[in-house]
């Protein structure tokens, strides 16, 4: 059982929905990013998604693209991202961390080496947005053999023919993308999301977490109310990009978490 599996079992026993929060590793620099990362569990975050900066983030909107650029310009690397997780684990050995990004940095490092280092650092799962199920031999199956969850995205365009293929080797949870397009492009609508979550849950026993387009505590509550939880990324990254203090950022995160937990 991974930390992700344990967290969802704990939440289910408590009758609570999950709040998942995303930040870009190294944004705006290593030290300030590390401060926010360390503060997230105390702000009510159940699972942390840690973005891996990449030069060509095709699935990300303007806000997260800029975060990646800031991180790269500040010298963030895959090695430094792994070090962030190692440092986090010195104080917190229970909060799940999912590394989210693109395959190129992992491929460049070498899959076997990366997986060994990621497990040692304390990463629990991967979301690699540019590896489809047809490429499961590349990273998904080796990652699961190494004891990590491989979390897949389902979208409004994932039809009933495609969905079983997407679910085939998914573990941990399913990330449902509430809107068509890039991150931060539109607002999520619980009325539109609910039937899609039900459709996915008819094919899997995994929790379904909804992301994209969630910016307020009320929206987090509404979306979590029709799913097993929600993810907020761009709204948090925008606070970081605006130069807010660690306290202000974590207060914003805490309000979102409170909304999700009431869902």
Task: Mark 140-151 as b/e (b = at least 16 C-beta within 10 Å).
Answer: bebbbeeebbbb
Q: Is 212 left (phi over 0), alpha (psi -120 to 50) or beta?
A: left
Catalytic residue among 5, 60, 136, 228: 60
> Can 116 be counted among the known catalytic residues?
no
- CA distances, 34 to each of 50, 80, 88, 225 (Å): 11, 11, 8, 31
The separation between CA 123 and the C-alpha centre of its own chain, rounded to angstroms, equals 12
102 near 109, Cβ under 8 Å? no
Dist CA 140 CA 93 (whole Å): 24
> Can 258 be counted among the known catalytic residues?
no
Helix, strand, coil distribution of the chain in percent, nearest 5: 50, 15, 40
Alpha helical stretches, state H, the chain:
3-14, 30-39, 62-73, 78-89, 103-109, 111-121, 140-145, 163-167, 190-201, 217-224, 234-241, 246-261
Catalytic residue among 5, 27, 46, 49: 49
Radius of gyration of the chain (CA): 17
211 near 230, Cβ under 8 Å? yes
- Could you list the active site residues? 49, 60
């Amino acid at each position: 059982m991974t930390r992700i599996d344990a967290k969802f079992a704990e939440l289910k026993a408590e009758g609570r929905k999950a709040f998942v929060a995303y930040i870009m590793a190294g944004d705006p620099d290593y030290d300030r990013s590390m401060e926010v990362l360390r503060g997230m569990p105390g702000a009510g975050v159940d699972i942390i998604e840690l973005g891996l900066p990449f030069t060509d983030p095709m699935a990300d909107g303007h806000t997260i693209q800029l975060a990646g650029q800031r991180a790269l310009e500040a010298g963030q690397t895959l090695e430094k991202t792994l070090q962030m997780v190692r440092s986090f684990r010195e104080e917190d050995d229970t909060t799940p961390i999912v590394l989210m990004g693109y395959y190129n940095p992992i491929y460049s490092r070498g899959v076997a080496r990366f997986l060994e280092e990621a497990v040692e650092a304390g990463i629990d799962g991967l979301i690699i947005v540019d590896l489809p199920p047809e490429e499961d031999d590349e990273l998904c199956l080796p990652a699961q053999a190494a004891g990590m969850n491989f979390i897949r995205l389902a979208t409004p365009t994932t039809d009933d023919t495609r969905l079983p293929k997407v679910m085939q080797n998914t573990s941990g949870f399913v990330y449902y993308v509430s809107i068509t397009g890039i991150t931060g492009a539109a607002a999520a609508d619980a009325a539109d999301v609910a039937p899609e979550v039900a459709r996915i849950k008819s094919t899997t026993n995994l929790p379904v977490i909804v992301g994209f387009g969630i910016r307020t505590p009320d929206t987090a509550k509404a979306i979590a109310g029709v799913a097993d939880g929600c993810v907020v990324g761009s709204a948090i990254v925008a606070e970081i990009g605006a130069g807010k203090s660690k306290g202000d950022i974590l207060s914003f995160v805490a309000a979102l978490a409170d909304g999700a937990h009431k869902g």
